[in-house]
Amino acid sequence: MKKLLTSLLAVATMFTLTACGGGSNEDKPYAGQELHLYNWGEYMGENFISGFEDLTGATVVVDYFDSNEAMYIKVANGEPYDILVPSDYMIERLIQEDLIQKLDKEKITCMDELVEDIKGLPYDPNNDYSIPYFWGTVGIVYDKTKVSEADLEKEGYNIFLDTKYKGDIYLYDSERDSFMMALKALGYSMNTKDEKELEAAYNWLVKCVETMEPEIVTDEIIDNMAQGRKALGLIYSGDAANIMSENENIGFYMPETGTNLWSDAMVIPKNAENVELAHEFINYACSYDAAMDNSSFVGYTSANQEVMDELANGDFEGINAYVPRTGNDKDEVFEYDEATRKIISDYFSKVKIAASNAQ
Amino acid sequence: MKRFSQLAWPYMIWVVLMILLPMLLILVYSLTTSGNEIVNFTFTFAHFQKFFTDPDFLLVLWRSLTIAVKTTIICVILGYPVAYFIARSSDRVRNILVLAITLPMWINMLVRTYAWIGILSDGGIAQTILGFFGLKDMELLYTEGSVLLGMVYNFIPFMILQINTSLCKMDKSLLEASADLGANKVQTFLRVTFPLSLSGVVSGITLVFLPAVSSFFIPKLLGGGQFFLIGNVIENQFITVGEWNFGSAISMIMAVIMMVCMYAIRKIDEHNSGGGNQES
């Protein structure tokens, strides 16, 4: 027994030694350095981080956030990260407030591999600051056994006011997605600055929470819809793709009145400590292998064209949520406007209070 | 004795830095308008006015207080017998039982609350068990009941330990005296044991009620996004809305409410122990 242990130990030591030797190898120029990554939870493939570490020899320290707003507070208060993955409108805000830096375009080698539709979007017209990571839309996830498609087509987002489905719906706990739904249900632009329209949307949401007994959730919707616990929910396309690959009774519907075309992209904050390595990371994240790992594991649509095409015809074949809709004039990209954001935030906290008081 | 007073200095510095200064900052925030620099104050009572003139906010405050009161009452009713039983056990058993009560607290509160989500969710263990008794498809998670359960579960150890301590500290000879004077067990409990343990109950109430009023992650996790108590309103103002001034104002209001509660509880306590001393 003792002998066995000793030999095991010896083998283990040998491995450690080789591992160390590999780490200090000259073709790993970033050995010993650290990259601080701030990303969404459940947004990376299983081998995504270790793949980058193997490639560069650097260590990646990951923190997770669950809302753009939570991320913003940390970054605005000076927490030093090398890479963030915020959404479109938040990138716009970070640019306006001078919190992120321009990318060194010469170091970014992956632009040609990306999907054309998500390059040069209004929040960053020349991709000076950001390189897309995932993208998608927002739509209605529904249980085909409980919801008729005729209802969806006829009512669009107003199905969330249809008392036939009372107590059987999920809302998403995010102010901009909730207001997008309400504004689109009413036929307005989701980027409206008109206070009357915003108030109408607020009233729409209050009516919904007061009459429909919704549950206001975030990521819980994924498991719950996959197990068919409720009939309807507002959801990101990537989460819907994930659910649909688990449960074939689930469908994803995008109302004709329009939806939000969103993208999450990688940016480098002003106070990043390892800008060089951050550029390296962006290139890595866009590359075929890494993007494939991420997208096939998480279910969100890849920004890499080849990966997207391959998955759309492979793992996610027949799942309409995986390929975001393009070509509908009423689909919009969210724009950041401080004054409107304040109004919407204020309204949304009152919607939640109304939901709570309605119980 | 005077020499030792110098030892209090580090403590004083700690109190100023960690408690007084942040409180002052919150106060300043609550009384100023947003967006201005620290050097350039604009004082306003608008945030307090906004809170007190909006029936929705007041309703949320009222709900938070009622839930906290319910939690506290349940904790006293369930906690007292447990504490009494522990206090009456032999030393060895008592140590084990106290350990058993404290043991779960070694695990992070958030993690334990997450565990309840799994237990209570649709198709979870709790629902399966209820299914055997013909109570199928009863909604357990995201109800007021689940929030109450989460609060009681998280805060009851504080109640039990406080009551247990006060019961253990009690002079046993008083019970013998009471028996000698002809009181039966019920009379002894009602007239000797219970009044003497009241100080423990009172500090237990403080330790349960205060966190229960302001807790935000228990309602968030077990009540869902549609269960919005005052703690959630504050969190929301800071994290999502970005209105630190309004959030600070609500925090100040809560601080004042809690101070009033603590003062009232202490008065009751003093009144009781004062009475007890005179009798003995």
Examine the pLDDT at B279 and tell me if it is beyond 50: no
Is the minimum CB–CB distance between A345 and chain B shorter than 8 Å? yes
**In this structure, what token pair is assigned to residue A219?**
């990521």
Whole-model pTM: value is 0.84
CA distance B197 to B191: 11
Could you give the CA distance from residue A52 to residue A38 in angstroms, rounded to a whole number?
15
Q: Which amino acid belongs to residue B269?
A: D
Q: Does A352 touch chain B (CB under 8 A)?
A: yes
Cα gap B259→A197, rounded to integer Å: 43
Q: How confident is the model at residue B260 (pLDDT cuts 50, 70, 90)?
A: very high
The answer to whether residue B21 is domain-embedded is no
DSSP sequence for B103-171: GGGGS-HHHHHHHHHHHHSTTSHHHHHHHHTT-TT---TTSHHHHHHHHHHHHHHHHHHHHHHHHHHS-
Q: A317-353 burial by CB neighbour count: b if 16+ within 10 A, else e?
A: eebbbbbbbeeeeebbbbebbeebbebbbbbbbbbbb
Q: What is the pLDDT of residues B220-233, one digit of tens each?
A: 999 988 889 999 99
A66 Cβ under 8 Å from any chain B Cβ: no
* Model pLDDT, residue A58: 94
Per-residue pLDDT of chain A (359 residues; tens, 9 = 90+): 444 444 544 444 444 444 444 444 556 789 889 999 999 988 999 999 999 999 999 999 999 998 898 899 999 989 999 999 999 999 999 999 999 999 999 999 999 999 998 999 999 999 999 999 999 999 999 999 999 999 999 999 999 999 999 999 999 999 999 999 999 999 999 999 999 999 999 999 999 999 999 999 888 899 889 988 899 999 999 999 999 999 999 999 999 999 999 999 999 999 999 999 999 999 999 999 999 999 999 999 999 999 999 999 998 988 999 999 888 889 999 999 989 998 999 999 999 999 988 87
B62 inside domain: no
ipTM above 0.90, yes or no: no
Question: Which among B209, B204, B228, B203 has a CA at the least distance from the CA of B147?
Answer: B228
Q: How confident is the model at residue B172 (pLDDT cuts 50, 70, 90)?
A: confident
**In chain A, whose CA is at the least distance from the CA of B121?**
A224
The stretch B79-100 carries a mean pLDDT of 94
Query: Pick from B121, B123, B239: which is nearest to A70 by CB?
Result: B239
Binary contact (B123, A218; C-beta < 8 A): no
> Between B278 and A187, whose confidence is greater?
A187
Q: Place B274 in a pLDDT band, splitting at 50, 70 and 90.
A: low
Q: Does B246 map to a domain? A: yes
Q: Hey, are the CB atoms on B224 and A346 less than 8 Å from each other?
A: no
Q: How far is CA B81 from CA A171, A243, B78, B212, B215, in A?
A: 43, 48, 6, 21, 26
Please report which helix (H) or strand (E) contains residue B280, including its range.
none
In a domain, B43, yes or no: no
Q: What is the CATH number of the domain that holds B126?
A: 1.10.3720.10
Are residues B144 and A227, on separate chains, in Cβ contact within 8 Å?
no
Is residue B42 situated within a structural domain? no
Which residues in chain B are contacts of A356 at CB distance < 8 A? 60, 63, 226-229
B60 lies within 8 A of chain A by CB: yes
Q: Structurally, how many domains does chain B consist of?
A: 1
Residue type at B62 in one-letter notation: W
Domain membership flag for residue B274: yes
Name the region of B137 (left: φ>0; alpha: ψ -120 to 50; beta: rest).
left
Residue A61 CB contacts under 8 Å (≥ 6 apart), including other chains? A34, A35, A36, A37
CB A208 within 8 Å of CB A171: yes
Cβ pair A69:B123 closer than 8 A: no
Residue B278 pLDDT more than 70?
no
- Let me know: does B229 contact B64? Beta carbons within 8 Å: yes
| Chain B contact set for A73 (CB, 8 A) | 238-239, 242
d(CA B61, CA B48): 14
Residue B56 in domain? no
Residue range B154-166: mean pLDDT, rounded: 95
B80 contacts chain A (CB < 8 A): no
Q: From the list A218, A342, A359, which residue is nearest B144 (CB)? A: A359
Locate A178 and state its tokens: 């909730």
H/E element holding A234?
strand A232-236
Domain span including residue B274: 70-279
Distance from CA of A217 to the nearest CA of B (A): 6
* Closest by Cβ to A357, choosing from B59, B225, B241: B59
User: Which pLDDT score, from 0 to 100, does residue B242 have?
Assistant: 81
- In this complex, which of A73, A224, A352 lies closest to B226 when CB atoms are compared? A352
Residue B179 corresponds to which tokens in the numbers above?
Answer: 């028996």
User: Does the residue B25 lie in any domain?
Assistant: no
Residues B217 and B239: their CA atoms lie apart, in Å, by 13
Q: Which two tokens stand for residue B256?
A: 């004042």
Q: For residue range B103-113, list pLDDT tens digits in order.
A: 988 999 999 99
> In the prediction, which pLDDT does B270 show?
79
Interior angle at CA A260, CA A351 and CA A313, nearest 5: 130
